[in-house]
Structure 1
């Protein structure tokens, strides 16, 4: 069987059931044609022009399920930097169907090179979208900032900046842009006035605004109004209306769990209604609480209640993790988060898949070109052996990942060394297809 030498040739994935990421029903008997990095056509098998098929390499996929590539909307890979570990983590992500990862504040010196290496095919990895971190000066005693700024002073580097009323925000945001960041992450210890000023300047310079759902003293409503584009950690919504002076102080202020046991909390309802109106995305990270230190079962129940309330309120929710599974686990943490959204947050499988595809792409600022199986979007796809609508755990049946039109079998990616040129499989028939977190969420 001829080896595919580059992704410029058309590939036709035939007779597959398509779940397009838009939340609708599965469509059997569909052909998806890609050319180069893009999807060329999505149509019923008998509606694809013969000349298009004649020009394509055929991959027959009867009985298989094709989805958009998955998106982990909250991850860390360089706090502190460990290049071999990061490459192993990213390779497992790609072989598990993840084609895009939102990096939420790390040592961007290393992350930028990993992003470049992934883009040009030097390593097998998802694409990376990164954020530069802004916080009040008091936050930069945190040991994680020291780890992510080795050789420099935390708070005084372009990717991790201490912000005060005297900061020249135009210059600060421009410095962050120079790291290759797609967004500013508003992390901690900032009042509403500065949060709003940072958000306005970031948007003026074309960057997204990603933020914790509370950064203390600024609370959830302040972040919505700033406005943040994405707010992380549903747990922090519980602090709406609670006076907390800093992120460190938050650990000493217990959540009032009783507020969330009798139904929707009125104060949080107002925040969620504002998020829905603005289209603010919630990066829930609900499954994190089972893995991070400093949380108990009351915290987990309250977080699940808040995610359910956000879902009922119509807030768009993406699937982010902020932790990773053990290195010997065959699948990464994203699959646990997707399962959490179904099993504890009340989503259907279709809604959870949309959270992990289209909404995740939107959270990363990439929704116009990723996250759904549509013509002219990037050819980021995953092929499964079993139906994820029947059981969302069937997302753990990955056989093939397609990133920017390049095809990788799960088995092929398992064999790659830590650093190696990207390799491609021979598509031609289905038989060929083969701790972070801590007490403070990050």
Structure 2
């Protein structure tokens, strides 16, 4: 190289190792689903948590506290950084809009997201920018998509392949029986994707073959719960790591043959309304046995994106699907399935909080899941969904210093997620007061 330059500024980079901050007096809700732990100290060194222990225990440890900045969290509640396990940042690509969403997410407590296939040319750069600290935002783990050739008349595939041919790019590949799967998976891995997303219009044998090859090459597989013609049962039998969209599971009970994503059979909503359908119970038992994560996206049908400008028929369909999602998600929880909190939508540009808050509230209010377990879904289970439970998802020694400081107890009311005082992401503090312009209230 002729010369070296420093590159763009990184004002949101993690603190250097040796920069120690001690957060004392917190009531810690650690993400495991266990009871809150009052009087807890969290010692952060650079981007990582060095120690988590009762205040009195660390008061006697001069090595842990010596020379550190001490932050008194008396009266505050701490939860792990939240994880949205279903986002789309670049369909179509819009850098300014994506950066605004990422900024709102991290100031709203979201420290990691799972991007479920987009234009990875942009998503990869956004992931780099949030990781090195050029812009504020959560860590991003993302998938490259595979589907049958007949899916690629979907206009979204053109939006994310601009300048190229949909189905022929490494981040969005059409797969047939003649596809060289080792090469296809290797091409996807070359985008730095952490997983393959299996979307639509593939038979069960191909879903199984893709999954086996991805696992052989060391990356996960995230799939729609029904891939059409692959049924939910076939998707689970293929051994995928996570499935998305709980309302797709009902197609296991379809009264006619599954053909394509574009031709879904009608759903008998009344059959599943009580949340006790035995066929669903068998699917949930298989998910529990395999450890398959369920990215329910339960609140998706209540979002403004779905109901904002809908016809009366659209609104009725959305309401029926919201009821279906609530009943099935509650049944899945009772069955012991690992639930993560994905959204598949974002709140409008003027909204001060990310959509994940709404998904968490839906799980409590509409599904009857205890608040501590919803927090676990949005933290530890979210980390499992993206294969990152070794570095995030709970507040414990050795993991990234990702946590949210709240003024009010979220176990009493999930709406208290809006009482954010500050967010720590990779050891760097983001004060909520810095998010909104002065004089602009929150709601």
The two structures share one fold, judged by TM-score above 0.5: yes
Answering whether residue 188 of structure 2 is matched by residue 176 of structure 1, we say yes
Contact kept, 8 Å, 1:13 with 1:33, in 2: the verdict is yes
How does 1:321-340 map onto structure 2 within 5 Å?
Answer: 321-340=343-362
Residue in 2 that maps onto 1:32: 42
Residue in 2 that maps onto 1:421: none
After TM superposition, the score normalised by the length of structure 2 is: 0.91
| TM superposition shift of 1:223 | 1.0
Aligned match for 1:6, one of 15, 23, 29:
15
Contact kept, 8 Å, 2:30 with 2:394, in 1: the verdict is yes
Answering whether residue 177 of structure 2 is matched by residue 165 of structure 1, we say yes
* 1:296 partner SS: helix
**In structure 2, distance between residues paired with 1:154 and 1:206:** 25
Contact kept, 8 Å, 1:7 with 1:406, in 2: the verdict is no
Please list the CA deviations of residues 61-96 of structure 1 after superposition, one character each: whole Å capped at 9, or x if unmatched.
Answer: 111111110000000110000000000000000000
| TM superposition shift of 1:55 | 2.6
Residue in 2 that maps onto 1:310: 332
Report the CA distance shift for 1:65/1:263 in structure 2 as closer, same or farther (over 3 A): closer
Contact kept, 8 Å, 1:288 with 1:322, in 2: the verdict is yes
How does 1:16-165 map onto structure 2 within 5 Å?
Answer: 16-48=26-58, 49-165=61-177
RMSD, aligned CA: 1.4
Residue in 2 that maps onto 1:201: 213
Aligned match for 2:230, one of 218, 230, 248:
218
Aligned match for 1:246, one of 235, 260, 273:
260
Q: How many residues align?
A: 411
Contact kept, 8 Å, 2:14 with 2:133, in 1: the verdict is no
Answering whether residue 286 of structure 2 is matched by residue 265 of structure 1, we say no
**In structure 1, distance between residues paired with 2:259 and 2:186:** 29
Residue in 2 that maps onto 1:319: 341
* 1:240 partner SS: helix
Residue in 2 that maps onto 1:296: 318
Q: Which moved more, 1:277-286 or 1:407-416?
A: 407-416
| TM superposition shift of 1:268 | 1.3
Please list the CA deviations of residues 256-289 of structure 1 after superposition, one character each: whole Å capped at 9, or x if unmatched.
Answer: 1121134411111111100000110110001101
Q: Which moved more, 1:257-266 or 1:401-410?
A: 257-266
* 1:247 partner SS: coil
Contact kept, 8 Å, 2:14 with 2:46, in 1: the verdict is no
Answering whether residue 400 of structure 2 is matched by residue 368 of structure 1, we say no
| TM superposition shift of 1:5 | 9.7
Answering whether residue 367 of structure 2 is matched by residue 345 of structure 1, we say yes
**In structure 2, distance between residues paired with 1:413 and 1:364:** 27
After TM superposition, the score normalised by the length of structure 1 is: 0.91
* 2:262 partner SS: helix
**In structure 1, distance between residues paired with 2:33 and 2:67:** 31
**In structure 2, distance between residues paired with 1:181 and 1:5:** 23
Contact kept, 8 Å, 2:229 with 2:260, in 1: the verdict is yes
**In structure 2, distance between residues paired with 1:364 and 1:61:** 30
| TM superposition shift of 1:303 | 1.6
Report the CA distance shift for 1:368/1:5 in structure 2 as closer, same or farther (over 3 A): closer
Q: Which moved more, 1:70-79 or 1:49-58?
A: 49-58
Report the CA distance shift for 1:145/1:322 in structure 2 as closer, same or farther (over 3 A): same
**In structure 2, distance between residues paired with 1:206 and 1:62:** 44
Report the CA distance shift for 1:379/1:262 in structure 2 as closer, same or farther (over 3 A): closer
